[in-house]
Chains A and B, each alone.
Chain A
Amino acid sequence: MKEVVEGSHAVSEAVRLARVQVMSAYPITPQTHIVEALSEYCAQGRMTGRFICVESEHSAMAAVIGAASGGARTFTATSSHGLALMHELLHWSSAARLPIVMAEVNRALGPGWNIWMDQTDSLAQRDTGWIQLYCEDGQEALDTTLLAFRLAESASLPVMVVLDAFFLSHTYEPVDIPDQTAVDRFLPPYRPKVHLDTREPFALSQMAPPGCYMEMRHDIQAGMRRVPDLYTAAENGFEEIFGRRYGMLEAYRCEDAEIILAMAGTAVSTSREVVDDLRDRGEKVGLLKIRMFRPFPTDLLRHSVSNAQKIAVLDRNFCFGLGGIFAQEIRAALYHGEWRPSVFSYISGMGGRDVTPEIIKEVYGLAKAADRPETESVWVGLDPATCPVCRTA
């Protein structure tokens, strides 16, 4: 049934429909609406799961680790500093092969304190072994959360569902909220491969000396390598029941594009309009939506950019001392590909700064005009009045 809901609630409805058994979270703007809704569902009896109101995000992740080890379907949500605080346990949960699902609302890291849209928080966790899926709108947020449980449980790896702060989390859109029977068909009860049981005692997550640690890590990567196939299978099942699919990447009007814009999150929505506009004016431009970031879809990326000369990546994040993170990863993925377009790295829309059609057009214009990418990422939209040392392209 279609309802007008904000992105946060698209996620919480999915968690309710997934019949999550144990949730634990600590509030942080702009994730709060997700967890408040879940608490309310439990209080109303619309959810029978347990919601543990812990005293920090580190404890939230610890609680769901405990619950998942006990065989329950689990969920948590956080953002920015909360995610950063969970860091050691992000490593822990993936290495423990626990199918935890987490909604992560992309918010800037401080100082200065900034509650608004920025991707650095989730990208800074790219090494932790979590599957990462980036959402463009409310429908996708709901669908991805449902997909996440199925994927996590089949891969035995945790999944992060990423939403833009405010632009997605707090934006109201019409969203088709599926009915419980349909979701039950897509997502049967969780059947853990391994869980603690007094009838068959064993130890989990104990010491692993040099003689076996490397093999355990290799096993985790073997698990990651299965994810694209498992994801496709999950989407097949999803499409059969709900009539929608998203893919790991989406190539929009890329077939004959000379320049391809690449980005993740709500900026993709805006860019669709810009690409159509530019195309109307004869520009050979396409758009690559990054949806699955981990595992990085290298083969699919190489295939998607097969004719382009230039990839103009928009990063709403930054790795100090290196540059935009999506650009780095795309560049690395293309390096050994048969066809190697130049990768141009643009930074904009950090800390809640809006990515407008004008900004995207400027990015396109800069990429078109430049012969080769600069060594450093190019910052777009800096205000010299605010920051005297800022340099614009």
Chain B
Amino acid sequence: MIRSPLPQTDYMTSGHVGCPGCGATVAMKFALRALGEKTMMVIPACCWAIIAGSHPQCSLKVPVLHTAFATAGATASGLRAALDMRGDTETVVVAWAGDGGTFDIGFQALSGAVERNEDFIYVCYDNEAYMNTGVQRSSSTPFGTRTTTTPGASWKQTRKKNIVEALAAHRIPYAATASIAYPEDMIQKFQRARILKGGSRFIHVFATCPTGWRVPTDQCIKIARLAVQTRVFPLYEVVDGVRYTLNHDAAPRPVRDYLSIQGRFNHLSDVDCDKIQTMVDEDWMLLKRKATPWPPLKPAYDP
């Protein structure tokens, strides 16, 4: 028998209404195992606003504050302030938002909160479209995707917004990508974020959505793994916005392996796939460059 050294206590119950094969529920399971019971979740409108339960039931065993769509960053800031004023510095406040509430309608509040270096963990579980409202495109939707608002020949022609880079530009103390297919890496990152109190921490979690991506419901983890293996979704960390660490750097698989098995991409031609391969290669090269050993910054004067 293999005993996992990872935390085993769950703070999520079964019986929730997540779709079969939902990656977002796997993300929450691992996140809460890492974070523990002194956690408060701030959840804006997103799939998890529904999965967390409808009155009078809740599928999480930690306090949950549901909040309006655009507000996760701001509401979490206020909650943190209240806990501090009441003398509770142990509980961690976690904003748990989808890509809509992070990249788009929630971006302002997130950027504002990170610029203020608010003491919280902001988690974006990313299923790459507005899934809760029926698969409409977001700025997190990758180049090449068909959604209900980028249908047919109007599939999305613009790149996925790079949220980690945007926050690195804020000099956020800690930002990282994580994948439900790499649970040890993911749990360690949440544990790291939990310990790094005092400033903003951001974790971008890849969360497969079989419903919106038009894939069989038993392919959730496999697709998440392929996203990392093809370098579509690299695993890395950024400390203070400048020190990059690559967590996974193996010989890559071609992006076609990832694109060809998803219904949301099956309209793409060979030329389109080549273009995507070029974009992935270029992004990887940029990332590698940032991850080369960083010389310590010399102060402008000697104090």
Contacts and interface: CB of A to CB of B under 8 A. Distances in A.
Given A66-B75, A208-B54, A203 B63 contact: yes
A59 B112 CA distance: 9
A207 B55 contact: yes
B159 interface: no
Contacts of B61: 201
A208 B39 CA distance: 24
Given A66-B79, A212-B55, A58 B60 contact: no
Contacts of B71: 58-59, 62, 65, 89
A53 interface: yes
A58 B44 CA distance: 14
**Interface size of B as a range:** 35 or more
Interface in A22-69: 22, 24, 49-50, 52-56, 58-60, 62-69
Contacts of B54: 206-209
Interface string B46-62: 00011011111010111
B40 A196 contact: yes
A198 interface: yes
Contacts of B16: none
A92 B78 CA distance: 15
A49 B84 CA distance: 10
A198 B83 CA distance: 11
Contact of B77 (A63, A72, A197, A206): A63
A203 B78 contact: no
Contacts of B60: 201, 203
A70 interface: yes
Interface in B82-133: 82-86, 91, 108-109, 111-112, 115-116
Contacts of A54: 74, 77, 109, 112
A58 B74 CA distance: 9
A204 B64 contact: yes
**Interface size of A as a range:** 35 or more
Q: Which of A49, A53, A204 has the most CB of B within 10 A?
A: A204
B160 interface: no
A22 B83 CA distance: 10
Contacts of B197: none
B211 to A, nearest CB: 19
A202 interface: yes
A71 interface: yes
Nearest to B62: A201
A362 B146 CA distance: 66
B170 interface: no
Contact of A63 (B66, B78, B86): B78
A133 B21 CA distance: 52
Contacts of A392: none
A375 interface: no
Contacts of A65: 67, 71, 75, 78
A181 interface: no
A76 to B, nearest CB: 10
Contacts of B67: 62, 65-66, 92, 205
Contact of A206 (B38, B40, B55, B78): B55
B82 A66 contact: yes
Contact of A59 (B56, B65, B83, B109): B109
B78 A52 contact: yes
A50 B79 CA distance: 11
A52 to B, nearest CB: 6
Contacts of B76: 66
A62 B68 contact: yes
B73 interface: yes
A376 interface: no
B68 to A, nearest CB: 6
B50 A53 contact: no
B240 interface: no
B275 to A, nearest CB: 36
B281 interface: no
B185 interface: no
Interface in B173-194: none
A67 B79 contact: yes
B64 A203 contact: yes
A197 B86 CA distance: 11
A214 to B, nearest CB: 13
A195 B40 CA distance: 12
Contacts of B37: 198
B53 A206 contact: yes
Given A52-B116, A59-B73, A212-B55, A67 B81 contact: yes
Given A89-B71, A209-B55, A62 B109 contact: yes
Interface of A: 21-22, 24, 49-50, 52-56, 58-60, 62-72, 74, 88-89, 92, 195-198, 201-209, 212
Interface of B: 37-40, 42, 49-50, 52-56, 58, 60-68, 70-71, 73-86, 91, 108-109, 111-112, 115-116
18 contacts: A54-B74, A55-B108, A56-B108, A70-B82, A72-B85, A74-B82, A89-B71, A198-B40, A198-B91, A201-B60, A202-B64, A203-B65, A203-B66, A204-B63, A206-B53, A207-B49, A207-B54, A209-B54
Given A24-B78, A66-B78, 6 more contacts: A21-B82, A66-B81, A69-B75, A197-B63, A203-B60, A207-B49
